[in-house]
Each structure stands twice: as structure tokens, then as C-alpha cells.
Homo-oligomer: A and B are copies of this chain.
Amino acid sequence: MNNAYSTAAYRLYDEKADFDKKAQGIAVGLTVGSWTELPEAAKQQMQRHLGQVVNVDVHEPVNGAPGERYADITVAYPDVNFSRDLPALLVTTFGKLSMDGRIKLIDLQPSSDFLGAFPGPKFGIKGVRDLLGVYDRPLVMSIFKSVIGHELQGLREQFLQQALGGVDLIKDDEILFENPLTPLEQRVKVCMDAAREAEQTTGQKLIYFTNLTGSTFKLKENAKRAIDAGANGLLFNVIAYGFDALAELAADPGINVPIAAHPAMAGALYPSQHYGIAAPLLLGKLIRIAGADLSLFPSPYGSVVMPKEENLGVMEALLTDALPQKPVFPVPSAGIHPGLVPLIMSDFGPEVVVNAGGGVHGHPGGAAAGGRAFRQAVDAVRHGKTLESYSENHPELRIAIERWGVRTS
């Protein structure tokens, strides 16, 4: 092999297929189209464009045991066949093939050359920590309780209450679009104003992730409008717009604020056993290559669930040293309350964002108390205390664990 290859790993279910033949069919069919019938001269010319089967690992169900027959197949695609963008990589490796039977795209391992075309996150974990000046604990993020139908003043008050609780990050709801009640620039202004007001009390910096929406070809313009109005973070529904849009936003030097990738619509792609794109690739590796600084995904703890094994796969892809792009904050989301913090910190380690909506706003003492309860829970773990013992002197945490309990596994 005298040029670079990017590999794709698939899991293919079939009761009786010849998986070796199938793998060869993929390697040829998705590259040069045909091979065996080519004249020798053409083969010489085409060799560098021909896909290569790297591995075929067949799993036969054991007699009598439940389970399906499948194969894990890895195919290497010559980089020379596609341009240095994510649609080209995805369409090459899982375009037509996605429709060819029960097949799931498990992983992509782009070549160093391909990866080199992606600057990735501008900030990453360290950059976000630098912006906040917080290095010694997981970050805490909160989400507006409800945003649709609210006016600017109501939004400001919600923002202020969350900020007063000492959270580090606040994000828009992903379903808040451009609207007459809280248009982008005015929303940014009142929220950042509330952030400054809270900072006078908390002494803490805060990043506000404004939802970046609208037509695809105006995303850059809208991002810059938000930034000009004072936004210091952007939320982006990457699945609806495609990974390339994220990659180009992240690579734009004018968009100099962190981007949080929201997984809206990802559930159409990752949960099926037989179809789609595995969560660690979809919400981990691709998000990181494309350049988000934070990646939200369904936690394994709450009502919107992803199995813990997949969650940890997403985390691994966001944090591993094996990629040249900066590591990205994992943000396991949905159903998070303060009583889960020890478990989250045990499962994810120190580089995680504890993200809550109902767990902040549902606190009997209000959103500010809710934020404090989360910060206290984080401090308890840092100081090696149980939540129960720490809560003796921290009333917000005590009320939270009375409300939601403590989950240890």
C-alpha cells in the first residue's frame, strides 16, 4: 500500500451470507466498482483506488443458544478516492452500503492525512476550563426549564436564577428557534447581562450556549451576529445540519466561542442493533473531528437512556489521546439530579460536565438552590465525603437528596 487508507468497521447480520465474499464485494463495489474482469493494464492503474478487506470476524450463534449470526468487517478505503470532508467519508463508507441489508456502521478510523484536514475543537476541555478559570472539578451546566412562549424578561429571570446557583454553563433549549418574543441578539444581550449580574454575587464566570439555528447557508452569519451581541458559546443541532456544517463553523476563525453539539435526532441513528451508526462514532468521534467543544448525549441514568457501555464508548472517543483533535467535554444528559453526581464522577472521571434541567429547576428551593446543590454534590465527592455526610452542613444538597435520593450504581 503506497498511499493512505481510512478504514470503516461494520457489523453485518445475516443468517447465511458468505461474509468473506460480502466483504470483498464492499471493498470493490464502493471503490473501483469491478475488479476480477478488469484487464491487467487496468488493474495496475486501478490498484491504488481499490478498497482492501482488513478483517472479517464471523460470529456464529452457538447451537441452541439465543443470538444472531453476524460478522464484524473492516474495510480500508484509499484516501485518494474522496475529498477531505465528512460527507465524502460518510457517503463513501456508508452511503449505498447503509441500505444493503442489516448493517450498522460501528467505527471509522480516518487516516492521519484525512484527520489532518480537521482542526477540531478550538477550545476543547482545556480551552473551556481556561475561559472559566475552573480546573479542579467537573463543570456544572443547567438548561432553561422552558423557553417557548416566554418573553425576554422571563428568560432573563430564569437565566439569573440558574446563574446565581453557581453553575458554569447555561444552554438554550435546542427547540428555541428564531422567534419574535426572544430574538437571537436580544436574547443574548439580556442573558449575558444576567450573567454579569450573577457574577457580582458568585464571583464566577459563565458560558451561555445560544442555540444557533436558521438556514444552513446563514449559519455563519447568525453565529457572528450572536457573538457580536455578546454570546460566549453556541449550541448546535449537528445531526439536523450535518457534520460538515459543524466542521466549517468550528474551523472559522471568526467563530471564536465554544460550540456545544446537541444530539437532537441522533436517536434516529444510533439505538438500533441492526442499522445506523454506533453512538461512540456518531456522538463521540465524529463530533470531535468536526470540532464541537462539548458533546451532549443521553445519560445511562435517567429516562432518556443509552446503555452505560455505549456511554463510556462515547466518552472514550471524546477523550482518547489517539486523535489529533483536542479532547471534548462529555455531557451525559437527561434525568440528572444531585444524588447522581458521585456515580457520574465515578463513571466519567474528572473531565465531565454535570448537566441538568429538572434537577436544577425542580429543587424545592428554586433554580439557584438547585445549582448550589449540584455544586455541593461535586464538592462532596472532591473532598471524599458521602453526599449524606456533606449534606449535614449544606442545606441545598440535603433538600435535593431528600427529594431525589442518592444513587450509587
Residue A55 interfacial (CB < 8 Å)? no
7 contacts between A and B (CB under 8 A): A81-B175, A82-B177, A83-B179, A95-B174, A241-B242, A271-B274, A272-B272
A289–B107 Cα distance when bound, in Å, is 33
- Whether B95 contacts A146 by the Cβ 8 Å rule is no
Contacts of A271 in B (CB 8 A): 99, 102, 274-275
Contact status B213-A216, CB under 8 Å:
no
| A83–B33 touching, CB < 8 Å | no
Which range contains the number of A residues in contact with the other chain?
A: 35 or more
Q: Which A176-218 residues sit within 8 Å CB-CB of chain B?
A: 177-179, 213-217
Chain B residues, Cβ within 8 Å of A174:
91, 95-96
Q: Which residues in B have their C-beta under 8 angstroms from that of A92? A: 175, 177
User: Which stretch from A259-267, A336-344, A345-353, A370-378 is at the chain B interface?
Assistant: A259-267
Residues of B within 8 A of A314 (CB): none
Q: Is A401 an interface residue (CB 8 A)?
A: no
Tell which of A126-134, A163-171, A226-234, A298-306 binds the partner: A298-306
Q: How far is the CB of A37 from chain B (nearest CB, A)?
A: 10
CB <8 Å contact, B216 and A90 = no
Additional A-B contact list (4), CB under 8 Å, known A33-B145, A91-B174: A85-B213, A88-B177, A105-B268, A241-B242
Q: What residues on B are CB-neighbors of A224 within 8 Å? A: none
From B45, B99, B240, A242 is in contact (CB under 8 Å) with B240
Q: CA A219 – CA B268 in complex, angstroms? A: 26
Give the docked Cα–Cα distance between A95 and B175 (Å): 8
* Bound-complex Cα distance A86 to B214 (A): 9
Interface residues of chain A, those whose CB is within 8 Å of chain B, are 30-34, 45-46, 48-49, 80-83, 85-88, 90-92, 94-100, 102-103, 105, 145-149, 173-175, 177-179, 213-217, 219-220, 237, 240-242, 244-245, 248, 262-269, 271-272, 274-277, 298, 303-304, 306, 334
Q: Name the residue of chain B whose CB is nearest to the CB of A263.
A: B99
**8 Å CB contact of A267 from B81, B98, B148, B303:** B98
Chain B residues contacting A30 (CB-CB under 8 Å) are 175
User: Are B81 and A265 closer than 8 Å at their CB atoms?
Assistant: no
Scoring A48, A240, A241, A248 by chain B CB atoms within 10 A of each residue's CB, the highest score goes to: A240
- By a CB distance below 8 angstroms, the chain B residues around A265 are 90-91, 94-95, 98
Assembled-state Cα–Cα distance A269/B262 (Å): 18
Which residues on the B side are within 8 Å of A304 (C-beta)?
A: 96, 99-100
Contact in complex: A214, B105 (CB < 8 Å): no
User: Interface centre among A34, A45, A216, A240, by most B CB within 10 Å?
Assistant: A216
Contact of B91 with A264 in the complex, beta carbons under 8 Å: yes
- Residues from chain B with Cβ under 8 Å of A96 in the complex: 174-175, 264, 304
> Which residue on chain B has the smallest CB distance to residue A173?
B33
**Structural contact, A268 and B276, CB atoms closer than 8 A:** yes
Interface contact B98-A146, CB-CB below 8 Å: no
Given A149-B45, A275-B271, A276-B276: A98 and B175 within 8 A (CB)? no
Q: Nearest chain-B residue to A95 (Cβ)?
A: B264
Give the residues in chain B near A49, CB-CB below 8 Å.
148-149
Which of A31, A97, A214, A244: most chain B CB closer than 10 A? A244
Distance A242 CA – B103 CA, assembled complex (angstroms):
22
- Nearest first, the 3 closest Cβ-Cβ pairs linking A and B are A33-B146, A95-B264, A98-B267
Known: A177-B83, A242-B241. A248 touches B99 (CB 8 A): no
